[in-house]
Each structure stands twice: as structure tokens, then as C-alpha cells.
Copies of this chain bind each other. A is one copy, B any other.
Amino acid sequence: MVNGYDGTGAAGLPAATRELIARRDRALGGAYRLFYDQPVSFTRGSGVYLYDPDGNAYLDAYNNVPSVGHSHPHVTDLVSRQLATLNTHTRYLTDGLVSYAERLLATHTVGSLTAGTPGQAMFTCTGSEANDLALRIARHCTGATGVIVTANAYHGVTAALAELSPSLGRGVPLGTHVRVVPAPAPGVNFTAAVAWAIGDLERHGLRLAAFLADSLFSSDGVLPDPPGFLAPVAEAVHAAGGLYIADEVQAGFGRTGTHLWGYQRHGIAPDIVTMGKPMGNGLPIAGLVARPDLIEAFGRQSRYFNTFGGNPVCVAAATAVLDVLEAEDLPGNAQATGTYLKDAVTRLAAASPVLGDVRGAGLYLGVDVIAPGTPGTPSPAHAAAVVNRMRERRILISATGPHGDVLKIRPPLPFAREHADQFLAALAEVIEAVLDHRV
């Protein structure tokens, strides 16, 4: 795994950390991974900082789940009050769920670019459950099974999603009805690739149920540009009778700055939109918004009950997130700080032999790390060195992309210019330092 702990850095860790890792290994076993050559332990979080047991502050430039900031008091307040009052499920009536759904739906344009046909919402606990449900709906409504994803896509951990998440690696086989297309990188005719995959499905006697894509292509290396390139893809998918599912688990809730939803940067109206990670600032709430005719057709054949999905406590968290996004204009900040950060990193990259292309939208940046002085040659080793040396300087990022060569910079949205400056100063030092040492 990119940025996974493999034990080689254990000797440099405090005894208490080593002991906690040993207990964790015994209790949780081998499918769990820790970040970093030297894993880090946290006991407190506030705003864009996390604190270790000794009280050291780490600048968080990685975590998109605590999107409105760690331990935001408005989230704590609404959730705590709801917990003390009522927590139940969707087979009884509660007002909060309906009001939240209405508010969420007002931000989406599904099925049509005009707001005349509002979607309907369904709630789950995780992005995986949302994508899994979207897939069930798509297959039910199209009567087809084929799915197209990108080469290093990640859409979740259920059995049905693992078989269409190539980024899980060769240990997890893809489904026979899954087709993989190259990621929309420069030089790739993405629309043609999707059209080819549709034809290949048909040649195998299969039809397209859905094209499923993260609107930022995060695990493919962060590929947001140019805005609009997904519009002809959506046309090709619809022409083949398939549905366009926009996976907004990474891009949604204002992350890209200019729009609340990543698909809106591309001027498309998906058939289904899935949401997750930042939705409840860390409380497990996720869901989808879809064309009402799809939900109607699915609902006629199948009830859907998710025990914790849409419960009042998680809905309180989600409500607080929308409150804070609006009150603090966090999409505006994502745009302002994101542009500042991207421009500054682009300047650093232009002057550094170890950094290549810089991409991003709002507060989601991807930075290619290359073999020093060798543009076009990815260097996962240098990327890992940058990530681990940033961690030594108490700044959290990670890496992504098919080679693990792309720095993933994705802070909580209250990340301000002063935090960007702290980040940039450290990055400038680190990219010098990794040149001076063998990595």
C-alpha cells in the first residue's frame, strides 16, 4: 500500500508506540495498515491540527473527512444534543431527516441540467454502501450488468465494489462484467476509451449498466482538468443505455471550491450521485441522490432499510456540516486557499528537479514526484520520502496514483493562507532534503 507502515522504522519509535502497535497487531490482524514509516498516534484534534500524546501539533493537510475542521464545536453541539434526545430509524417519522434531505436535494442537479426535476435521496452509513446501492439500482433499472471504471479506480470495500476497484491490487480480481479504461490523463482520448469499452462489453454479450467515476479521479492521481471533459462521456454512456454515476465521496461538499459538487465543474447532470466521507465530518453518514424514476422503479421491487442510515444523530452531524459550510463559506475558502496553494506549489515544482506536474481543484491537489531531473519518470521512492519527511516536520499528507508517485494534499476546508504558508515552507525544505539523500 502507498504510504503503508512495514515495520522497518519500528526501532525509531517510542516504546509506548511500539507496544500499542504490537497490541493492535494481535487484536486487529493483518488486513489493517498504518500510515508512515513511523506511525503516528493522536489524542486530540482541533481545526486543521491533530495532536500527539506529547502535545505536539501536526498540521493536517491530508484528511478530508473532518471537512469543516477537527472537533468543530457546532458539530459536537448538534450531535451531542441529538444524542441526549432521540436516536432512532427511518421507519418512524422524524422531521430532521426530511428537512436535511430537502436541503441536500436543493444543491443537486440530477437527470437534467435544469433544476426542474429534483432528485430523491437515500441514506446509508458509508460511501461503500452508497456506491453498492447505486450499483444495485443501476443494474435493476437497466437490466444490464456491465460497469466501466478507470484503471486505478477505488469505489469501496463491499464484495460488489471490490471487484470494480482495480486500485485494491491484483490480490482482488475484477469481475467478468467490469471493464477498465485508462484514466483521463493528457494524451488519452477518454471518451473514445469509454466508447471502446462499451463496444467490448457488447461483443461479450453484455450491456452497460453504469459508468462509475470519482469526479476528481483521486486514486488515478488527481485529474480534474479541463472542466467539461466528462460531458461527452456522459453522452456516450447514455447513448448505450447506461447510467452515469458520479462518485462524489472525494469531490463533494465544496472540496473543489467553485462548485459544491465535482460533477458540476463538468457541466453534467448525473443519473445517480453518491456521497460519503465529509458528509457528517466523521460521523458515519453517506448516501445517494438519484433520478426519481430510478428510485421509483427500484423501490417497487425492493424495499431498502439501512438500520443506521439516516438516523437522527448522524443527520444532526450532516446538518451541522451544511450549516458550517455556509456560515464559514468553506467552498470559498477552498477556492481561495486552494488557488494560492496550487500556484505556490507550481512555482516550487518549476524550480525543483524532483517535482513534476501540479494539478488540483480547490483544496485537492496532486503533485507528481519524479526521478530527479527526469520529467516523465515517476518516482514512488521520492514520493514516499517526501511524505515521511513532511511527517517528521509534523505535516500530514500522503501519496496516490497507480505508482504511488503523486503527493495527495487534501486538508480540512478551514485550511487558511497561514496554514498554506506553513505547509509550503516545510515542502520547500523537504524537496531539497530528499535530493541530498538516497531514498
Whether B40 and A93, one on each chain, are in contact in the complex, defined by CB atoms closer than 8 angstroms, is yes
Please provide the chain A residues from 59 to 109 with a CB less than 8 Å away from any CB of chain B in the complex. 63, 65-66, 70-71, 73, 75-76, 79-80, 83-95, 97-98, 101-102, 105
Known contacts A87-B70, A126-B308, A313-B282; decide if A157 and B133 are in contact (CB<8 Å): yes
- A307 CA / B50 CA spacing, docked (Å): 17
| Chain B hits for A296, CB < 8 A | 29-30
**A11 interfacial contact with B, CB 8 Å:** no
**A27 interfacial contact with B, CB 8 Å:** yes
Known contacts A83-B79, A93-B24, A94-B41; decide if A88 and B31 are in contact (CB<8 Å): no
Known contacts A28-B101, A76-B83; decide if A126 and B307 are in contact (CB<8 Å): yes
Whether B314 and A21, one on each chain, are in contact in the complex, defined by CB atoms closer than 8 angstroms, is no
Whether B162 and A41, one on each chain, are in contact in the complex, defined by CB atoms closer than 8 angstroms, is no
Q: Which of B27, B66, B84, B102 contacts A105 (CB 8 A)?
A: B27
Known contacts A33-B305, A282-B311, A307-B126; decide if A88 and B76 are in contact (CB<8 Å): no
Known contacts A101-B27, A126-B306, A129-B158; decide if A75 and B83 are in contact (CB<8 Å): yes
Residue with the highest number of chain B CB atoms closer than 10 Å, among A168, A299, A307: A307
Whether B29 and A120, one on each chain, are in contact in the complex, defined by CB atoms closer than 8 angstroms, is yes
Name the distance in Å between A132's Cβ and chain B's nearest Cβ.
Answer: 5
Known contacts A84-B71, A93-B42, A158-B160; decide if A304 and B125 are in contact (CB<8 Å): no
| Chain B hits for A122, CB < 8 A | 28-29, 31-32
| Chain B hits for A285, CB < 8 A | 284
Query: How many chain copies does the complex carry?
Result: 2
**A35 interfacial contact with B, CB 8 Å:** yes
**A344 interfacial contact with B, CB 8 Å:** no
Name the distance in Å between A310's Cβ and chain B's nearest Cβ.
Answer: 8
- A171 CA / B129 CA spacing, docked (Å): 20
**A300 interfacial contact with B, CB 8 Å:** yes
Name the distance in Å between A365's Cβ and chain B's nearest Cβ.
Answer: 20
Whether B30 and A295, one on each chain, are in contact in the complex, defined by CB atoms closer than 8 angstroms, is yes
Q: Which of B31, B101, B121, B127 contacts A307 (CB 8 A)?
A: B127
Whether B160 and A159, one on each chain, are in contact in the complex, defined by CB atoms closer than 8 angstroms, is yes
- A80 CA / B75 CA spacing, docked (Å): 10
Whether A128 and B306, one on each chain, are in contact in the complex, defined by CB atoms closer than 8 angstroms, is yes
Which residue of B is nearest A101, CB measured? B27
**A417 interfacial contact with B, CB 8 Å:** no
6 A-B residue pairs with Cβ-Cβ distance under 8 Å, sorted by A, are: A24-B97, A35-B91, A43-B94, A168-B303, A284-B285, A284-B311
